[in-house]
Structure formats: C-alpha cells, structure tokens
Amino acid sequence: MNYREVQILAPETIDTAATKTIDVNIDQPLSRIEIYWQITKADTAGDSVAHNVADLTKIELVDGSDVLFSCSGYEAQALNLYDRRIPTMSHGQHLVTNSEAIVVGIDFGRYLWDELLALNPAMFRNLQLKISYTLTSSDASASAAEMEVVGYVFDEKVISPIGFLMSKEVVNQSNPANDSYKYIDLPTDYPIRKLILRAEEDDYAPWDCIEGFRLDEDNLKRIPLDWATERYYRMMKGVWQRLEETFLVAIPTAGCTQYVTPTDYFMDAHFMPISGGMGNVTCSVATGGKLAFDSDVAGTIQGGIAGYLPHHCFEFPFGKQDVIEDWYDVTKLGSIRARVRGGSVGTGGTHQLVLQQLRR
C-alpha cells in the first residue's frame, strides 16, 4: 500500500483545560497531521461564546527548541481552508447534549500526498506535537470533549522530499487606533509561500479592525503589495473558494447566538424549522461570523451559511501556489516589513500574522 493513515493519538476523553504533549513516533514521511476535536454542547440557553475552533488555543510541532509549526486553532484551520480550497471543516451541530466537531490540519505539502514536500521524521531527533485546549472557549458550560490525532504517511511508496511547509504565527498584538499604524519586521530565513493576516474583534468584519495592509522591502526600496483590506477581499472573490457549511440550532424563546466560519458581511444564511409549532423565526446575520437567532416558540432549525474570510483571516498568496520556484524568496533581501493600519474598531481587537514558509 503506497499510503496509510496512522493513529498518533487514539480518541481520548477530555474533561479539563490542559496542554497535551504527544510523541510523534513515526519513521516514514508525513504528508499531513489532522486533529479531530469535539465538545458535547451543554449551554442550556443554546448560546456559543465563540466558534468551536476557539477551544484549540495553540497547536505546535516541535523538535526540542526547534518549532516547525505554531498556530492557534483559528489560524491553522483558516490556513487549511485556503490551501485545500474546500468549503468547510466544521460540523455545525449546535444542539445541547450533542457533539459539535471540527477538524484542524497541519499540511506539510502543497496538497495531500505531495511527493516533493513532506516532513521526514528521520531528519529530527524528538518530534512532539503539543496541543493546548480548553473546553469553555466556545461553550461556557461544556465539561466533556474528545480529541483524536491522525497522521497521513507514505508507506510503501518511497519518496525523496526536498523539504516541507513550515507555518508559524510571527506576531500577535492589539490593533492600532483608527487610521494609525503598527510595523512588524518579518523573518527572511526561508522563502514565503503565503501570508495570513487575521484581524479580529467580536461582531465586526476583519476590515473594520485592520483597514490597510502593506509590505515593504529594504526600507521602502520596493513595496510588493499595498491594499485596503475591504477592497482586497472584494477582488479576491474571483480567486478564493467560497465557504459553505450547514448547521442545526436549538433556539430557546429567549433566542441564542452561534458562530460560523465565514466572517464577511455578505454571508448568505438560509434556514427552516424542523420541529413543530415554531412561529416567527428570525436570524440577524451580523458580521464577524456571528449569527443571532430568535423565535417566539422554542424549537430546532436547520440551515446553511456561505461567505468568505474564514475566522477573520485574509490570505496573501505569493506566486503560483503549486510552483515552488515562484514563491517569495525573501532570503535575498536585507529586510522585509509589514505595516497594518487600524480600522474603525480601533484598539478593541487583535491581529496576527502567520507565515507559511518553505523549509528545505
């Protein structure tokens, strides 16, 4: 068999917040690692505090002090969605006592079973996967969860990868005030395949938090990109895969709030009651991936949502994403710097930058 899936962590019951350290005892090249995470919904009011992926606060793959991957659950799943060009990685079953599940991946290649880019464990001494999690970041009343980790390895197929994709958060800070700036020096150690800008404040679109983004080389010698983020989002609709996911929601008479993956303000929400006796059901489609449901009679609805900007994230791809030689070779530069311009929300939220780099 050319390929196989290996269980890095068998399904494990989680009942408290912690950091789980898992030895990656695999001697064959890895194409992908995936984390399956599910909580048992418990908030009797039907509310969510945040998207389910918020429970995975940090995911790291390390070899001693050498960090090969480091992202929050939000950042990692957004990177997956942009890379894989798929509609969702969330199972939106927002029902008390039921399981609400997500999948978050670490991709070492341009696609699954990429023979040129994969992680070769033989090149490292002590690979460990560290997953920090809570149970209550998404559901304040949750007390039960389950986690499983699966690896996708090259089995009988012999490959000779030249390197792997290394993804890391390089900054996490408060947003600048409206129309003011913050500057971020970026590393020049490895070529960059893509950059993810996450700009988040609850109940706001990403461009309300960061309204402008620019890169400059060698102290303004060259400016590779300079965008108003809302205009950039509008233009990239012709490039990005549209996000689509379904949901089941139990609505009490007091109404409830749920979170979904797309966060732009043109989300397309549709739904229908599936329990008898429900009267006037409404949904306020707010920006920032936040849905507010209301009904004059308690009941359950099913529906769908579609939109862009997963988890408040913009993707800035460099070159043809399948052509390694086409990526942004910053190793030839003296310096590269990012500039973010604050939006109307001001300092109410935070922003992060994630780099996906080619490490040979």
Instruction: List, for residues 111-162, the tens digit of each pLDDT value.
Output: 999 999 999 999 999 999 999 999 899 988 888 999 999 999 999 999 999 9
Which domain, by its residues, includes 81? 1-162
CA distance 148 to 22: 11
Contact at 8 Å (CB) between 276 and 287? no
Give pLDDT, residue 319: 97
Task: Identify the CA nearest to 36 among candidates 145, 109, 196.
Answer: 145
- Asked whether residue 213 is assigned to any structural domain, the reply reads no
- Asked whether residue 317 is assigned to any structural domain, the reply reads no
Residue 276 has pLDDT above 70, yes or no: no
Give pLDDT, residue 44: 67
Question: 297: helix, coil or strand?
Answer: coil
- Give the pLDDT band of residue 285 (cuts 50, 70, 90): low
Amino acid identity, position 314:
F
Q: Can you read off the two tokens belonging to residue 107?
A: 């991709």
- Asked whether residue 303 is assigned to any structural domain, the reply reads yes
Q: Is residue 149 located within the same domain as residue 249?
A: no
Q: Which residues contact 144 (CB under 8 A, 6 or more apart)?
A: 13, 14, 15, 39, 40, 42, 135
- Asked whether residue 252 is assigned to any structural domain, the reply reads yes
Residue range 240-253, pLDDT digits in tens: 999 999 988 888 88
Pick from 259, 275, 307: which residue ends a domain?
307
pTM of the model: 0.96
- Asked whether residue 130 is assigned to any structural domain, the reply reads yes
Beta bridge partners of 234: none
Count how many domains the chain has: 2
Give pLDDT, residue 199: 97
Mean pLDDT of the 168-183 span: 97
- Asked whether residue 340 is assigned to any structural domain, the reply reads no
- Give the pLDDT band of residue 295 (cuts 50, 70, 90): confident
Q: Is residue 127 located within the same domain as residue 250?
A: no
Q: Is residue 22 located within the same domain as residue 149?
A: yes
- Asked whether residue 44 is assigned to any structural domain, the reply reads yes
